[in-house]
Amino acid sequence: MTVVNCPTCEKKVTWSPESQFRPFCSKRCKLIDLGEWASESNTIEGASLTDSLTFDEFDLPINDDLFRPDED
Ligand SMILES: [Zn+2]
């Protein structure tokens, strides 16, 4: 089984279908690497960076809706 290190936080990530954000360990790390927090997402309604990161990352099951752009 292949294991890689998350480019953002260097946490070990198993290279498998379950690791949907590989080579990143999480959606958060993927977005951080892409620079989205610094450019756009971090400005929504003055929400703090921390709050923005926690809403869908840690406790909820994987949901395909999370991968789609916001359409509202
Ligand atoms: Zn990571």
Domain coordinates of the chain in residue numbers?
Answer: 2-59
Q: 72 C-alpha vs ligand 1 centroid, how far in Å?
A: 29
Instruction: Give the whole-angstrom CA distance, residue 68 versus residue 3.
Output: 27
Query: Is 27 in contact with 66 (CB distance < 8 Å)?
Result: yes
For the domain spanning 2-59, the CATH number is 3.30.50.10
Mean pLDDT of 26-40: 80
**71 compared with 61, residue with greater pLDDT:** 71
Give 9 Cα–ligand 1 centroid separation in angstroms.
4
pTM, whole model, 2 decimals?
0.48
Average pLDDT on 15-25 reads: 94
Percent of residues, the chain, with pLDDT higher than 70: 49
Is the CB of residue 31 less than 8 Å from the CB of residue 37? yes
* Amino acid residing at 36: E
Whether 15 and 1 have beta carbons less than 8 Å apart is answered as yes
34-38: average pLDDT = 70
Q: What are phi and psi of 54, to 5 degrees?
A: -95, -10
Mean pLDDT for the stretch of residues 39-59: 54
